[in-house]
Every structure is written in structure tokens, then in C-alpha cells.
Amino acid sequence: MLNEIILAGFGGQGILFAGKILAYGGLMDNKEISWLPSYGPEMRGGTANCSVCISDDPIGSPLVLEPNYLIVMNTPSFDKFIGSVQPGGKVFVDSTMIDKKSERDDIECFYVPASQLAEENKMSGMANIILLGKFIKETGIISIDTLHKAFEKAIPPKKANLIDVNMRAINIGGQV
Amino acid sequence: MERNLMKGNEALAEAAMRAGCKCFFGYPITPQTEISAYLAKKMQANGGVFLQAESEIAAINMVLGASATGTRCMTSSSSPGISLKSEGISYIAGSDLPCVIINVERGGPGLGGIQPSQSDYWQATKALGHGDFQLLVFAPASVQEMVDMVVKAFDKADEYRMPAMILADGLLGQMMEPVTFPEISVEQKPKPWACDGTKMKRKHNIINSLYLQPETLENSNISRYERYKKIKETETDAEIYLCDDAEIVVTAFGATARVAKSAVNTAREQGIKAGLFRPKTLWPFPVKEINEACKSAKNVLSVEMSMGQMIDDVKLALECRIPVSFFGRTGGVIPKPSEILEEIKKLGGAE
């Protein structure tokens, strides 16, 4: 099973980090994985995106063009990627940042006010992880245990105190 | 062995240190800057030297100097930067010095773009500078091969006293994949030619690429080509995938080969007898291996991120016995599996 994921938003929202956490999750589950960031002019324009593949088989192109999952945190990225999602795919929208709804009826969209929830829970800057929590709950491609290990691996030891905060954000997203 | 998640550029830099690289001279350019950044952080603690030169030209000449002392050394850049280094690379080849040069290619010509490309194939395999010389050219297709090939490049460069290049691209440099680091023996063969001090016990060595007597220069070139002859016989390497009964063989290297492999797999699912030939060494080109891979082929399709460069070597190697078509995207555009599949179908359509 090949899971192809695009994460997209503004620079500074932690898009690349959230993608890395997914990739580390795949690593912990001994899956084949790839993570590819955008590094082109679109970065300078303020948007960031990354492609993550998680699969049982070796991965061909790491560049995802038609994702089966989309995690999206700003309107320009929503407009850019919503049409490319495979039929039957799932989309996770930060509805604090994006006040649009998809008109497609062949995909499933989850609207999570992630930025607002982050604010309310005094977790400024962690909307990405809250949205990731919802993603994990709805897709089940990574278990909560694996995710914990992924944070342990991705966060350097001197910042280990951040693991708990991240797991709290995951739980908040999972309860939406 | 522990699986790490690393960017291609960073994994390559780590592997170079483990392979005994003690000097790195570089100058920043997207999309390879992570190599410099990684070595800037780690090289000193590993007992080596990291130096950001004032220019690409300075960096490659520092490599010449360091290599002359017998030290394992490396430089890295991306397409426009490699063009700047070409004079120094010719001098290094003319001086019979080993070194490793990394090219994480981007679109060209000129300043081009910063997205992945393979349009430096001709430059790397035919003419990276003036004069009669070749480089060993390795073409990784995964982060793991970025590691394995850089280790091999150091060994082979030393063995044949010539520069070796890793011809990667922005996709391989920027992507993260699981990677393991092999156990590497740090023992290196002695370099009796090196300028590392006579200790008053031997005649001094001279490293030089200037020979004003034509016969002397001719002999120097002839002896270098004797080594090239041996390399062509023994150092070729390629991956041959599903070619046993393949009627259409796709040839592709590096990141493009990953995309091509996906297309070949889909073609097979649809009952088309397709296979993939992927050279891992671009010079020497795996002539014997491609003929083996194409033994039942009726059509060959060269897929590249360029306007068509490797296709020349494919035709030469097959002596034009099999028709060779081309599909490519260029300027930083990565071909889609579906586009390659369409081309495969066109070739199979006559059946």
C-alpha cells in the first residue's frame, strides 16, 4: 500500500516538520519512506510544501503529484492542491486559516480549527501537530505509540521536554 | 544496522567523512549547500579541515593542493559551479591526482534554475575541461547510493589516481530516505607519489601537469589511457531490471530511473514486456551490460532530465542495432511515471 501525502501551508507553520514526523513514523514502523521538501521559488513566496511517501514497497518518484492525503494550512495551498487529490482521498484543512470548503464530492474533507485550538490551549505554533493528530486518527497509517517514538527520534535530546507538548497537541487533534 | 532518516546531501557528507575525507573545500550553491553546512559542523571534530573558499575556482585548486599531499579530499557544487571548476579539474587530471567532486545538478544552461536536472551528462562524461582525460562518473539513484557510491569513489579515485565524480541531482540531494552507513575500513593504500615531505630519506616528488616536450606529454597521455582501458574493462556497473524477456527496454540513470521503474512496473501490470536498464557508472559506460539487458529488445527508450544526452552513449553501445527513442523533461521539470508509460505504450503499439 502506497500512501502519498502532501503537506502545504505558509513558511513558519511547521509544514516541513509535520512531514518529517510522518516520515519518522514510517521509519519506526520499518516502512519504505521518502520526504521531499519544496526548495524552489515558491518558498520565497511564503508557501512551503513537502511530499511524503509511506509504503511497503520501494518508492519510485518521491515527488507526489496526486496525493491520497492532503494536509493544508493556507488558502493558496488549498487552491493549488485540492484538485490534485485522488478520488477517495482525505483532506485535512486548518479551518481557522482557510474559510473555504471543497466542492468535490469524491473526496472526504475534515475541517479542523487547528490554529484556534492551538491558541486556546496556549500552544502557539502547534496547529500543524493538532492537524496531524486528526490525520492520524482518521487514517490510522501510524499508531500513537509509533508517533511517540517518531517525536523521540526527530526531536534532539536537549529539547526532549517538547515531546510531551507535541503528544498533547496530537491528542487535542484526535478529539476533534 | 540502524536506519537513519537523512537528506541525500547530508548522508553523502557523512559518508565522505567516514571514507577518510580529511579536507573539504566548497562554495555554497543550491541545491547542494547542505553538504557544506553538514561538513562545516562536523569536519573539525573529525580531525579534518572544512574551508569555504572565496570562489569555486579557489575551492578546486585547494583540492589540487590537498590531493598532492596524499590527503583524501572533496569539493561539491551544482551545475554552474562545476563549470567554474572545470579548469582546475583538468589540472588535477593532468597531474594524475585523486579527488572526489560532487555535482548535485540543477537546470541549465547559464545560471539556469535550481530544480533537479541531468543536463550535465555530456559535461561529466565527455569534456569536463580541456585536454585528453576522463573522470570516473557515478550516478546514484537513492540516498543509500549517495552513501555507497561516495565511499567507492574515494577508493577508485585513489586506485587509478584520477578524479571521480558523483553526478547527482537536486531531487536526490534534497530528499530524505532511510539510510544505513556501512562499516568502512579507514586503512588506505600508501601513496608513494605524494608530496608529503621527504624526511631527507628519498628524492622529492613533483606534481605537475606541464610538459613542454610533445613526446613527453604524449607518453603521459598514453599511459593515462592505458589505465582508462583497464577501467573500461573492469569498473562498469549497472542495474538490470525485468530485462530477461523485455521487448522495450527503458534506459535511465539517477532520480529519473526511479520514475522510469514505476512506469515499467505499471507497464508490466498491463501486460507490456518492459524492462529497465540503469547505468550506475556513466563513465565508463556499461557497454557489455546494456547489450546483455537489450538482448530481446525491439525498442529502447532513453528517458532523461535533459534534451537528450545519454542517448548518444546508448546508441553507440548498441551500435545502432536497435532503434532508440527519447523522452525527456528539462529545465528542472521531473518526468511523471504516466508520461513515461505513454511513451512505452507508443513503442509497444505496433504489436
Whether B282 and B324 share a structural domain: yes
Asked if the Cβ–Cβ distance from A23 to B5 is below 8 Å, we say yes
Residue of B nearest to A53 (CA): B177
> Looking at CA atoms only, how far is residue A176 from chain B in angstroms?
31
DSSP letter at B311 equals H
Q: What is the pLDDT of residue A17?
A: 95
The pairing of strands B4-7 and B176-179 is antiparallel
Q: pLDDT (tens digit, 9 = 90+) per residue, A80-108?
A: 999 999 999 999 999 999 999 999 999 99
Residue of B nearest to A62 (CA): B175
Whether B229 and B312 share a structural domain: no
Q: pLDDT (tens digit, 9 = 90+) per residue, B130-188?
A: 999 999 999 999 999 999 999 999 999 999 999 999 999 999 999 999 999 998 877 78
- Residue B224: CB atoms within 10 A of its CB come to 18
Q: A–B: how many Cβ contacts below 8 A? A: 58
Whether B168 and B250 share a structural domain: no
- Exposure pattern of B55-93 as b/e (b: 16+ CB <10 Å)? ebbbbbbbbbebbbbbbbbbbbbbbbbbbbbbebbbbbb
Q: Chain A contact for B86, CB < 8 A? A: no
Whether B173 and B141 share a structural domain: yes
Asked if the Cβ–Cβ distance from A27 to B178 is below 8 Å, we say yes
Whether B169 and B243 share a structural domain: no
> Looking at CA atoms only, how far is residue B286 from chain A in angstroms?
23
B266 belongs to a structural domain: yes
- The number of domains in chain B is 2
Cross-chain CB nearest to B259 (options A23, A27, A61): A61
Mean pLDDT over the full length of chain B: 96
Helix H or strand E encompassing B279 = strand B274-279
Q: Which domain holds residue B179?
A: 4-187+208-234
Q: What is the pLDDT of residue B331?
A: 95
Whether B227 and B258 share a structural domain: no
Q: Which residues of A touch B261 (CB under 8 A)?
A: 60
Whether B221 and B324 share a structural domain: no
pTM of the model: 0.95
Strand partners, B74: B24, B100
DSSP letter at B186 equals -
Asked if the Cβ–Cβ distance from A23 to B334 is below 8 Å, we say no
Asked if the Cβ–Cβ distance from A62 to B177 is below 8 Å, we say yes
* CA B177/CA B172 separation, integer angstroms: 9
Whether B61 and B165 share a structural domain: yes
Contacting B residues, span 217-236, partner chain A, CB-CB under 8 Å: none
B286 belongs to a structural domain: yes
> Looking at CA atoms only, how far is residue A116 from chain B in angstroms?
31
Cross-chain CB nearest to B262 (options A30, A39, A60): A60
Give me the interface pTM, i.e. the ipTM: 0.93
Q: Mind giving me the DSSP string for A135-149?
A: HHHHH-SS-HHHHHH
Whether B260 and B228 share a structural domain: no
**Residue in A16, A39, A59 to test binding to B, most B beta-carbons within 10 Å:** A39
Select the CATH number that applies to the domain covering A2-174 from these four: 3.30.450.30, 3.40.920.10, 3.40.640.10, 3.40.50.410.
3.40.920.10
Mean pLDDT over the full length of chain A: 94
> Looking at CA atoms only, how far is residue A64 from chain B in angstroms?
10
- Asked whether residue B350 carries a pLDDT value surpassing 60, the answer given is no
Whether B157 and B176 share a structural domain: yes
